Amino acid sequence: MGVAYTLDCKQCSYNHKVFLGIGFNYINLKTILEWYEQEEGRQQIKKYMNEEDIHFECYDGLYVCEQCGYLLNRTFLHIISKDYFYINSYDCPLCHVQMPQKPLLDEIEEISLKCPDCEEEKLEIQSYMDWD
């Protein structure tokens, strides 16, 4: 089950909802293929979903741009087989550098995130519901 958070800046109007974690259709590669959008990742899923000895991680996370601080709520996908692995990646929609390989998950409640808009204030982060 995943958790939804609100990210709220007290200084400016930045206010976003993010959905982190896993839903019920994240549990195997076949169900992930039903909703996963990135074409590159879809090809990888199709290639490996019928193989044995495959491990994967798939969850929604929060990517923090190291350059401009933009916050991007997207799905992390990591497929591992005996002799191969695939990790998806995203570019920052704002400054176009590559986002860090791994997004944040539950730890967003512990670390402090700077507001990407005004860059002055730390965001107030509150969980407000479970989702699946």
Which residues would be at the binding site for Zn ion (CB under 5 A)?
9, 11-12, 14, 65, 67-68, 70, 92, 94-95, 115, 117-118, 121
Nearer to Zn ion (CB atom), residue 67 or residue 127: 67
Minimum CB separation from Zn ion for residue 71, in Å?
10
Burial environment of residue 39 by CB neighbours within 10 A (0 to 12, 13 to 18, 19 or more) = exposed
Residue identified by tokens 């996908």 is: 77
Minimum CB separation from Zn ion for residue 12, in Å?
3
Nearer to Zn ion (CB atom), residue 19 or residue 121: 121
Nearer to Zn ion (CB atom), residue 14 or residue 86: 14
Element (H or E) spanning 32, and its range? helix 29-33
Pairing of strands 2-8, 15-20: antiparallel
